[in-house]
Amino acid sequence: MPNIDRVLSLIDQCDFSAENPFELRESLFPVLKDIASPTIVKLFEKTCYNGWLIFGFEAENAVIIRYDNILSKFSNGSLDTYFGHLSQAERYQIQEKFKEVIDDEIKHSEMFKTIISKMKVTKDYKPEFYSPDCIEFVESENNIWHTNSFIELLPNIVTGESYLYAAFVLFSKYCKNPIKQQIFKEFIRDESRHVAHFMNIMKKAKIDSIEQKKYDTKFFQYAKDRSQFEGAKFEIFLESLSISSETKDDIMQKAYTTEFHQTFRKLYAKKTWQFYNIVFPDVDQETYEKMLYPNLINS
């Protein structure tokens, strides 16, 4: 497993149990100080960090199985509708890169697991289920092929890789702890390779007009769900407060216009557009961002 001992040693040197476990130089949602007590704000932000790490752990374990399934189908000819035109050399290169990506994801799973254990996260954390040893979990991953084509599975994968990449870049930029920065940069290097790998695969795939429509529908479903850092949790939190709808809308707008969140948006929008543009080359980045962020494009 590449670099795992070195990076686990870095994690072991760090304390992740604090209220701000990533030691970012500013609050995730500074606007909340105007409507909630410091204790509630800190508790909510800790919940965001915990939830993000659990999402990362679950996603890494899911793609280990999902990528292995794709590799198997690619190797046995089940995906020849998309890749049958490739030479043996091209097929071999893709297979080898896929093996490297799977090794990276196994490493990431262990990194997330180790950080979570240092944070002492227990709520909603189910490592016994999200495991290749859990038959139910493996079957759930295998079953997605019964209702999805290869192209329909890609949007979840590529927007997920883009989300994690943008978040790691953000954490590295805003983190005050140099050792934790090294940990985030390890993730960034790997995620950059994964993004490049899937871009290469998509560029080589033959995608007909019917599959393009399926891709478009699924793509925006996932891209919009992940378009704001911890956006779903923030909306739920606002709903729990005794404030008017107008105030909630105003806070939502202000929360996501900080430098932190604008940086995330720019990173995420660029990466996801690159994946969308492969299938729809006539859609430029500006047009795509208006589709992804119709209410925030001018903020």
* Alpha helix stretches (DSSP H) within the chain: 4-12, 38-76, 80-83, 88-119, 135-143, 150-174, 178-204, 209-225, 231-239, 245-255, 259-279, 285-292
The CATH code that applies to domain 4-208 is 1.20.1260
Q: What is the pLDDT of residue 226?
A: 94
pTM given for the model: 0.90
Domain extents in the chain: 4-208
β-pair partners for 24: 175
**With pLDDT > 90 as the criterion, what percentage of the chain qualifies?**
73
Q: What is the pLDDT of residue 2?
A: 57
Task: Kindly give the parts of the chain with pLDDT less than 50.
Answer: 297-299
Dihedrals φ, ψ of 24, to 5°?
-75, 150
pLDDT in tens, 119-173: 877 777 888 999 888 999 999 999 999 999 999 999 999 999 999 999 999 999 9
pLDDT in tens, 277-294: 999 999 999 999 999 998
β-pair partners for 263: none
Write the DSSP symbol of residue 283: -
**Average of per-residue pLDDT values in the chain:** 92
Q: How far apart are CA 11 and CA 15, in angstroms?
A: 8
Cβ-based burial of 144 (10 A; exposed 0-12, middle 13-18, buried ≥19): middle
Q: What is the pLDDT of residue 298?
A: 47
